[in-house]
Structure 1
Amino acid sequence: MNVLTTQGQTGIPGYCLPDLSKTGTVAQTVAITALLLAALGIALILMRKSKRAALAAPLALALVAVGINMPDQANASTPKTCPKGYHYEASLDPDNQKAPQKHGAHQQAGTKEPAQTPATSPEIKPAPSPEPNGTKKPATPKPGTKPAPGQTSEQPSPKPLPAPAKPGKPQPRPEDNPLAGKVLIVSDANRDGKANPEDPADQNPAAATATSGAVFLANLDDSAKRCPLKNKAGKPLELEELRTCSDANDTEINGAEDLKDLAPLTIKAIPTISEQGSGKIKLDAASQKKVNLFINRNGKWEHLKEGQSLSAKELRQNVQLRLEGIDVVKDQSWDGHVTVTLEVTDGGHRATSQAHLKAAPLITQNHLQKLQTLYTLTKRSGHFSGRLTSEIAGLASKAAFKAQPFGDSREVWVQDSFEPMYQVMPTENGPRIMRVMLKTDQVRGVYTYEDRPNEKPDATDKTSIYQALYGLRGPGVGILDIGKRQANYTLDSGGNIETLPPMPGYPAGRILMGKRTAANIPADAEENEPLEPSESIRDFFTAQKVQKPIYLDTSFLSVGHIDEMITTVPANTKLGWKLVVSSPQAGLEIFKKLQAEGHGKEQLMSHEGAQGNTIDGALEKGRADWVNGNAERIIQKNIDIIKKETGITDADIIRVPVFYRAEVDDDDPNGVNLDAKTYAADFIPNAVNGVVANNKTFIAPRQFGPVIGGKDLYQEAVEKAFAQAGMKVLYADTYRTLYVHGGELHCGTNAIREATPYFLKGASEANPTAGK
């Protein structure tokens, strides 16, 4: 019998058993000797009876003797080291207790261990284990008998022991990487103006959207006013040269104001990084030519080039970065999402972190935003333009906005040269506004003469127009030119871009644009221009994904601009605004009523320059019926489209009387045909084509309707219509400056309105109030 002691008594682990062949244990030696002698005696006796039996008997006894001396290797699948003279016994190892049978369990100190039976010995079987609830295990059927009900003919085999682990290279574990959990780059994901690595909200791994996550601006302005309008010789720069300069066209931060236009990122300090450690910043492939990165090194901002390393010394403290947009989202080729990846390596270990940003959407203005500046035509725009400019300046003082001539331009249609837009980014000091004047996809101000085909086109007006437009460029104001057309098509004009104010699902409202449909182009009209606005502009508005455009049919109009048909005004309604639409049917009925009352001989217009046109003459032969009826039909279809797209009802719509005539060509050798079924043009100045000055004031072109009994009855009808929204109408005389050339007040002006941060954290998505 072997006497085992615990590790605490001998210093030998409990799973180490003595090698009897080496210990010289007397009892074991005696037992082996006795067995061998017995085997020899039995062999001598049996030799007389059978040689085979004589050999088998001593062999069996010898095997028993050897079994006594051999250590149990059945469970030693993963041996541990034992002192000399001892061997490893797996069944006694607390770390290896999966075997179904255990041998040689430790006894308390001073007690004897029961005799051990080898696992391979067939003579001694383990006692059956008791079944649950004290029931006996069913007996195994004898060969050739059927199992009792509920029994199987075979006993289930014990589950095999797990195979020993194969030696090999250990797999790295995250906890073994000293950089794990320490590499972090963050952006201003919570839109509080800071990129704070200690703020869990800035560690948001989700991609940014218009309404959540970090945003950045397209740095299109000229913060340091370094972009010239003239060359060194003093000659005005042309459009092709003007468009090449902005803060986005270099890799410098142009002063403190320029820095405010850049979005912050921060790399969290890694104090434990070794001297061999380093980091790199990478941009996703789609954004590499769309943004610039800058790093603050020793208090100075440097352009961080792709693949440039950050040293271990830099990474031991927070690293400040800035991201600058150098392009805008124009179409599906780039969606404005930017992923900035930080990769840090140290001693063969590697870890990464990512920050996400999105280009802030460029959004158009709407009439609920306070009017700040109204650009007007200049004294160079035409012979009578100075009078209109002075009149608007007077109205500006009454309605609390600033009137400013459009540079030194010769542009008459100021509305058509550009569309004011803006981007917004949060900063610690409040929203950062980037005004962006979208140049329309036209080349304006270039004239050719059919009767002088060999004469060089006159581009004098072009030079003055784009000098004026790029003259607006400066701190916080950029110019965006994404167009590709080199022509001057009417549907590409700014007057064909309007915006519905905020509504459910569209916090910044929706864009309206006009198009022509072949089926609705009048039979006698000649149309040689594209039937839709520029694809570049359409794709651009769609790509912003915040003001989904609605396209309306302007096929009946001579010029084809949306601002001749629709506008919006603030109103005390659930939406906060009402839709104002032209109603040629209402205008026609006014004149038919006056005619029926015996006023047919009265002048249609009371302006001194419009003498000769009577009410009877305008209505003669029913010539006004078709052109106004056709316009009313198409306008109603447009109203139905807006209702479907926005959910507004008739209660949200104001119908303002307008009166159309057939477009006439004074140069037509066949003379004027007022009966032609052709495009519509204003017969009376169009009141819809005006300017919302504030939430109580609308400035319209003076109507100059027929004066009967000392009253302009047509103008009274216009005022009554606007009164449905609580709006007071003020007037400006546009007759000689704009009306006779086919446009009205809105066409000859362009408004800069208060920028509302619709999509920023804390910014109300409720309708803002227009000027008080």
Structure 2
Amino acid sequence: MCPAHCGGTAAMIHPRTLRVDFNKTTSVLCVVGSELNVNLNRSAPPNSKFFSVKCTPSVQYTITPPPQETSHLSPIPLKGNSVLLISMSHASQHENDSKLSVRYYGENKDSLGIAVLHLTAVEISLDVDADRDGIVEKNNPNKGSWEWGSNGHGAVLLVNCDSERTYLKKPDSQEDYISKVSDLKDMSLMVLRTRGPARLPDGYKLTMHVSQGDAESIRVFRPGTPSLLNNTLRKLYSVFVKDYPLVLSSEVLSQEVPYLGGTAEMNFYVEGLRFPDKDFDGLISINLSLLEPISAGLPETPIFTDKVVFRVAPWIMTPNTLQPVEVFVCSTSDNYQFLKGMRNLVAKSGYKLKICHEYVNRGDRWMQDELEFGYIDSPHHWFPVVLDSPRDGDLLDFPYEELLGPDFGYVTRVAERKDVTGLDSFGNLEVSPPVTVNGKNFPLGRIIIGVAFPTATKGRNMTKVVQDFLWAQKVQEPIALFSDWLLVGHVDEFMTFVPAPDRKGFRLLLASPDAVYKLFRGLQNDGHGQAKLFEGLIDEEPVTVEEILNDEELQAENNYVQSCIDWNRDVLKRELGLDDDDIIDLPILFKLVAEEEDEYRAVAYYPDMVNMIVLGNNLGIPKPFGPKVNGRCVLEAEMCSLMEGLGLCCTFIDDFASYHKLLGEVHCGSNVRREPFDFKWWNLEF
């Protein structure tokens, strides 16, 4: 008889109750790493008082409660709660190649019957990259859960939102097949590892399954070979196109998967279909079960289940402090001067310039408002993803038709037209550089949006579907600012970030009417009160510094504007952990215009210098056409003085007629795709 611990047992998972009958032989399939529980009293013949156990070397067992010390040849007293715990140490080479028997005895230790188990052991492991190093390791103990942080675990899944097709294209996530092998790199590898006999015992099978809720967010494919081709054609076929049958989807929640026999691995490819959102936390579970037949005509029952968990990668915005890759602007019939300045700036900075021509933009020049660049990332792959705003101006086709493609993803949120306002344009969507706030790190920065004032009974807001999407990404916790005081209503009209070599690595730039009045009073005191703004501009009436300083109504309007900006300043200081030394006030003047009766909102009085494009250390700033002293624009000189101390070079771009007069500036008319963060989002601590 085997000793009670027969080789010892590892820590067991997946306990399974097993029925056995005396005087019968039962064939059992056992998964290595799982445990079979046999209630000995339940399966014993009537009047049984003792039992003994024998097994082959590959079988381990323990008895609970443990029997008192006795000779290993002596039968063990049978108690009402006696349980035999059986496990297998390694996979079988052949079916029924291991055995265990339980013999029962009466009061006088006479044999009453014997229960025999024929055991077949298989190793089964559904594996993912749970330690997030780009390699699918075997049977990671943490693969069935998710934990944030550098010491965390859990696999990452990308939304397959790019398009391998460049003609009649649509996002790959909307295709129910794999058109090109290159699409596999956008998916997460999942490996089924098995070891055991050449085939499973009759009736047993492996199935992969997912819940209805999770199936709406993923699809699973596996490699397959067209069975109707001969070997030569099959080899040629696999070079150009591979057949990847669909395993799981919203229509197929469960499907049998092959057991290959021997020592084998089968790859599966998991595709994300949607981003985290208000109704989806991003977590997905996929299960693999071994099913046991009971009787013909009856359903099989699961005897072992393995589970893996993925988190769908969030969409991540890129701040001005990250390295630019490509600059996007529109060409229109009237923006030659602006385009010339942008070409020179981008060429000097050493980046790519992509021009959207008028046959595509149809006169819509507001590249910033139509879209926002971001990216998605996993341990094995990343690619840029454009977020298309619900604004849907005449540029509405550009993100989809011109940007979506191989390794360039697309996502949008559709809102009811009645709900869309000017605040849904993405000049109203920015992101800060990385910050630490009260000891909490935001290594990917924080998203910034503009909304109506909290106490307003009416006003414009960014539509709920976009706000819900931004909040659900989780890794760049949004901040809401008050921007509805502006006629256009975008946060980029009064704030931006520029890189800096010291302090937190950046400065927050804020528009400041107070800074204008301070600068202009200095000019007046120095005898330059007659210096003129807008001098030399066609169709623009010049105005002197003195006239501005004497305009009490304009002063009152700018006092109001300054109070709105100061409210936002306090929010930004609190939410980004900033000091006053982290903020630079730029001299920018506003004026109020009547939008409706008794309703006034602000626009920039002269080109709004905070509405700039940031390309590394080069800044493309709206040319302000301010008053000149000794032939130099005072506003440009002040801007250079403030920026050059940070090692930043100012280039002033004439956007007056083609953008400023249409209530936008350089930033509104351009967009920048940037490199991703070095920091990996899954290492965030929550």
Determine the structure 2 residue equivalent to 1:698.
Answer: 619
Q: 1:79 to 1:282 in 2, by over 3 A?
A: closer
Would you say the 8 A contact 1:286–1:334 is kept in 2?
Answer: no
The counterpart of 2:246, out of the listed 298, 303, 308, is: 303
Alignment of 1:144-155 (within 5 A): none
Would you say the 8 A contact 2:475–2:681 is kept in 1?
Answer: no
Partner-residue secondary structure (3-state), 2:652: strand
Determine the structure 1 residue equivalent to 2:368.
Answer: 415
Would you say the 8 A contact 2:423–2:450 is kept in 1?
Answer: yes
Q: 1:279 to 1:615 in 2, by over 3 A?
A: same
Determine the structure 1 residue equivalent to 2:574.
Answer: 644
Alignment of 1:111-190 (within 5 A): 165=79, 173-174=86-87, 182-190=123-131
Would you say the 8 A contact 1:388–1:737 is kept in 2?
Answer: yes
Q: 1:167 to 1:390 in 2, by over 3 A?
A: closer
Determine the structure 2 residue equivalent to 1:274.
Answer: 200
Partner-residue secondary structure (3-state), 2:285: strand
The counterpart of 1:660, out of the listed 554, 579, 590, is: 590
Does the alignment pair 1:480 with 2:411? Answer: yes
Q: 1:575 to 1:467 in 2, by over 3 A?
A: closer
Give the C-alpha shift of residue 622 in structure 1.
Answer: 1.1
The counterpart of 1:207, out of the listed 137, 143, 146, is: 146
The counterpart of 2:428, out of the listed 496, 517, 531, is: 496
Give the C-alpha shift of residue 620 in structure 1.
Answer: 3.3
The counterpart of 2:549, out of the listed 619, 623, 626, is: 619
Would you say the 8 A contact 2:50–2:77 is kept in 1?
Answer: no
Alignment of 1:20-59 (within 5 A): none
TM-score, structure 2 as length reference: 0.74
Q: 1:301 to 1:751 in 2, by over 3 A?
A: same
Determine the structure 2 residue equivalent to 1:351.
Answer: 304
* Deviation per residue, 1:491-516 (Å, 9 max, x gap): 11100001001123111100011112
Would you say the 8 A contact 1:626–1:677 is kept in 2?
Answer: no
The counterpart of 1:683, out of the listed 589, 605, 623, is: 605
Would you say the 8 A contact 2:390–2:424 is kept in 1?
Answer: yes
Alpha-carbon separation, structure 2, partners of 1:401 and 1:167? 76
Letter in 2 for 1:78: K
Alpha-carbon separation, structure 1, partners of 2:629 and 2:130? 65
Give the C-alpha shift of residue 654 in structure 1.
Answer: 1.3
Alpha-carbon separation, structure 1, partners of 2:469 and 2:606? 35
Determine the structure 1 residue equivalent to 2:93.
Answer: none
Alignment of 1:548-559 (within 5 A): 548-559=477-488
Partner-residue secondary structure (3-state), 1:296: coil
Letter in 2 for 1:403: L
Alignment of 1:594-605 (within 5 A): 594-605=523-534
Partner-residue secondary structure (3-state), 1:638: helix
Determine the structure 2 residue equivalent to 1:46.
Answer: none
The counterpart of 1:506, out of the listed 442, 447, 459, is: 442
Letter in 2 for 1:206: S
Deviates more, 1:605-614 or 1:279-288: 605-614
* Deviation per residue, 1:375-422 (Å, 9 max, x gap): 10213xxx3213322321111110111121135212121111111121
Determine the structure 2 residue equivalent to 1:39.
Answer: none
Letter in 1 for 2:461: E
Determine the structure 1 residue equivalent to 2:270.
Answer: 323
Give the C-alpha shift of residue 315 in structure 1.
Answer: 8.2
Alpha-carbon separation, structure 2, partners of 1:477 and 1:644? 36
Would you say the 8 A contact 2:146–2:154 is kept in 1?
Answer: yes
Determine the structure 2 residue equivalent to 1:735.
Answer: 656
Deviates more, 1:601-610 or 1:260-269: 601-610
Alpha-carbon separation, structure 2, partners of 1:633 and 1:350? 68
Determine the structure 2 residue equivalent to 1:515.
Answer: 451
Would you say the 8 A contact 1:511–1:548 is kept in 2?
Answer: yes
Letter in 1 for 2:213: A
Letter in 1 for 2:272: G
Deviates more, 1:340-349 or 1:263-272: 340-349
Alpha-carbon separation, structure 1, partners of 2:660 and 2:521? 23
Alpha-carbon separation, structure 1, partners of 2:577 and 2:510? 16
Q: Percent identity?
A: 23
* Deviation per residue, 1:509-541 (Å, 9 max, x gap): 0001111217579xxxxxx7x432111111111
Partner-residue secondary structure (3-state), 2:244: strand
Give the C-alpha shift of residue 433 in structure 1.
Answer: 1.9
Letter in 1 for 2:494: M
Does the alignment pair 1:262 with 2:198? Answer: no
Partner-residue secondary structure (3-state), 1:734: coil
Determine the structure 2 residue equivalent to 1:131.
Answer: none
Deviates more, 1:348-357 or 1:316-325: 348-357
Does the alignment pair 1:746 with 2:664? Answer: no
Give the C-alpha shift of residue 178 in structure 1.
Answer: 5.5
Give the C-alpha shift of residue 692 in structure 1.
Answer: 0.8
Partner-residue secondary structure (3-state), 1:269: strand
* Deviation per residue, 1:630-684 (Å, 9 max, x gap): 122222221221222222211211111111122267xx9x9xxxxx993221112
Q: 1:177 to 1:501 in 2, by over 3 A?
A: farther
* Deviation per residue, 1:265-293 (Å, 9 max, x gap): 01112223524332111123321111100
* Deviation per residue, 1:245-266 (Å, 9 max, x gap): 2111112112122111000001
Give the C-alpha shift of residue 716 in structure 1.
Answer: 0.8
Partner-residue secondary structure (3-state), 2:501: coil
Letter in 2 for 1:184: S
Q: 1:601 to 1:205 in 2, by over 3 A?
A: same
Higher strand content, 1 or 2: 2
Partner-residue secondary structure (3-state), 1:268: strand
The counterpart of 1:378, out of the listed 327, 331, 338, is: 331
Alpha-carbon separation, structure 1, partners of 2:446 and 2:84? 56
Partner-residue secondary structure (3-state), 2:608: coil
Letter in 2 for 1:192: D
Alignment of 1:330-479 (within 5 A): 330-331=277-278, 333-345=279-291, 350-379=303-332, 383-407=333-357, 408-409=360-361, 410-427=363-380, 432-444=381-393, 462=394, 465-467=396-398, 469-479=400-410
Letter in 2 for 1:205: G
Letter in 2 for 1:216: L
Q: 1:606 to 1:660 in 2, by over 3 A?
A: same
Determine the structure 2 residue equivalent to 1:253.
Answer: 178
Partner-residue secondary structure (3-state), 1:687: coil
Determine the structure 2 residue equivalent to 1:111.
Answer: none
The counterpart of 2:515, out of the listed 563, 586, 590, is: 586
Larger Rg: 1
Deviates more, 1:751-760 or 1:682-691: 751-760
Alignment of 1:69-80 (within 5 A): 78=49
Alignment of 1:187-198 (within 5 A): 187-197=128-138
Q: Could you list the structure 1 runs, at least 4 aligned residues long, displaced by more than 6 angstroms after superposition.
A: 95-98
Determine the structure 1 residue equivalent to 2:639.
Answer: 718
Alpha-carbon separation, structure 1, partners of 2:50 and 2:159? 68
Letter in 1 for 2:610: V
* Deviation per residue, 1:226-260 (Å, 9 max, x gap): 435xxxxxxxxxxxxxxxx2111112112122111
Partner-residue secondary structure (3-state), 1:293: strand
Q: 1:179 to 1:567 in 2, by over 3 A?
A: farther
